Amino acid sequence: MTLLGIVVVIIGFALRFNPLLVVVAAGIVTGLAGGLSMERILTIFGEAFVKNRYLPLFLLTLPVIGLLERNGLKEQALSIIGKIKAATTGRLLILYLFIREVAAAVGLTALGGHAQLVRPLIAPMAEAAAENKFGPLPENTRNKIKAFSASADNVGLFFGEDIFIAFGAVLLMKGFYEQHGIFLEPLQIALWGIPTAIAAFIIHGTRLFLLDRAIQREVQQALTGSPGAKELNNHAN
């Protein structure tokens, strides 16, 4: 009976109802099927809202980023990266990986992110660095650069936040060990995350370092192997 909420979700999405209403209805149905009173169900909804009250603030970043892009954020980023002759895609992403990992290690997990930084700034700058060095890029190369930009954010955040002693995963591990009679301080657990974070930086940094060669190889293949290679080559020169 408690699985009735899943049925409500399936039916609601299949009929294209408002997702928020579907989820709320599924929660109420699940609670009633589980023997909870309506008062208790509303209490749970209220507690969840209070715990996640920062979510509306996060959603505000989307229109803010949209306004910034509309007013030339991307163009300014491309102009800046175009003036740095030594900048390459790999070097730029290695720098971002380092900043993201160090920031996450001290608890600044909001300093970055796909919506806030990668899409409007990091990925366009990485593409511009590649274009400055190798000329026009094939579409699959652009997609690869975007993917590596996102991966730099993911790796930096994932392994960096494990060093922060107040991170939820660190506290979860502390609780798990205590259940088995092993008493550790959060600092002890966090310190053991440092070697992993360093290894992650070296491994993914190496992949980013080799990315420039991969981009050059793909651009050369596109220039010599595509039907419009001659026109593209003339444009690049």
**196 assigned to some structural domain:** yes
d(C-alpha 100, C-alpha 150), whole Å: 12
Together in a domain, 75 and 140: yes
pLDDT given for residue 63 in this prediction: 62
Together in a domain, 171 and 149: yes
pLDDT given for residue 36 in this prediction: 83
- For residue 192, give the amino acid letter: W
pLDDT given for residue 52 in this prediction: 53
pLDDT given for residue 228 in this prediction: 47
Q: Residue 225's domain spans which residues?
A: 62-236
Q: Which pTM does this prediction carry? A: 0.64
Write out the chain's pLDDT in tens, 237 residues. 656 778 888 888 788 777 667 777 888 888 888 888 888 888 877 776 655 554 555 555 556 656 666 666 666 666 777 677 778 999 999 999 999 999 988 888 877 888 778 888 888 889 988 988 888 889 999 999 999 999 999 999 989 888 887 667 777 777 888 888 888 787 887 888 889 999 999 999 999 999 999 999 999 888 886 544 444 445 444
d(C-alpha 109, C-alpha 106), whole Å: 8
d(C-alpha 83, C-alpha 190), whole Å: 40
Together in a domain, 40 and 97: no
d(C-alpha 95, C-alpha 204), whole Å: 12
Together in a domain, 145 and 212: yes
Together in a domain, 141 and 228: yes
Together in a domain, 30 and 77: no
CA atoms within 13 A on the CB side of 195: 3
* Count of domains for the chain: 2
**57 assigned to some structural domain:** no
**56 assigned to some structural domain:** no
Together in a domain, 70 and 109: yes
